[in-house]
Amino acid sequence: MPKKPSEKMKKSRSTGKTPLEKMDKILLAAMSRTEKTGWSDELLASKEAAELFPDGAAGLVRHFHDWADRKMLEKISKTKGFRSLKIREKIAAAARARLEELAPFKPAAEAALAWHARPWHAASGLKALYATVDEIWKAAGDTATDYNFYTKRGLLAGVYSATLLFWLNDKSENHTATWDFLARRIDNVLSLGKITGKAKTAAQNASAILRRRKAA
């Protein structure tokens, strides 16, 4: 399930590390500093970092979302019994896995949210959100190719966005309040048998979430 590296990501003979591995290393170092600096170009001070992220902090934020998606897929691929779960349970497990992988880096996740709250970064935020919910649906075994393909992703975008906002402010032990919130959101919104009738509501919810982000 984890994404396969492209040809340019294959290991180089000189260093033994792929560009992807180097980018991940730079990202991990950067995430520990975002609480003070936010996502900024100063996180890419080295020559190698500047070469790997030629568009600066924007590329680093994109890689942050890609890294989180990859870690999510790796985690659920190792989860015993995942494939035997119901689709709704798979979706909940995948969303939870992503947030659990991000838990040590909450300030970085919050800084990414602030980054995408800026109007000129909103499009990249929506693209990142779509990539995440698309990966979750595919991991859950979704094979829809009709209008349900986009409806499902729109619904899940609303669920995941709301859960992310709740998680960022959750002080409960092991984020138990977040997992309860996620379960309720899925039960209330992601009714797979009536999914088409809720598409309009999902779009309105997603729009409201984006407005709250911009106002924060």
Model pLDDT, residue 190: 63
Helix (H), strand (E) at residue 51: helix 47-52
Average pLDDT over residues 44-67: 96
Q: What's the whole-number average pLDDT of the chain?
A: 86
pLDDT-based confidence at residue 12 (cuts at 50, 70, 90): very low
Average pLDDT over residues 32-48: 93
Least confident of 128-132, 138-142, 148-152, 192-196: 192-196
The tokens of 6 are what? 């492209």
pLDDT(197) > 90: no
The tokens of 188 are what? 């209330």
> What class is the 17-215 domain?
mainly alpha
- Per-domain boundaries in the chain: 17-215
Average pLDDT over residues 88-111: 96
Q: Are 163 and 178 in contact (CB under 8 A)?
A: yes
Model pLDDT, residue 56: 96
3-class SS of residue 118: coil
Give the span between the Cα atoms of 73 and 87, in whole angstroms: 15
Average pLDDT over residues 69-94: 95
Give the span between the Cα atoms of 214 and 195, in whole angstroms: 28
Amino acid, single-letter form, for residue 192: L
Least confident of 22-26, 89-93, 191-195: 191-195
- Higher-confidence residue of 152 and 178: namely 178
Crossing angle of helices 19-31 and 57-77, rounded to 10°: 100
Q: What share of the chain is helix, strand, coil (3-state, %, to 5)?
A: 80, 0, 20
- Higher-confidence residue of 6 and 78: namely 78
pTM for this predicted structure: 0.81
The alpha carbons of the chain give a radius of gyration, in whole angstroms, of: 18
Average pLDDT over residues 116-138: 96
The tokens of 137 are what? 């649906």
CA-nearest of 38, 188, 215 to 117 is 215
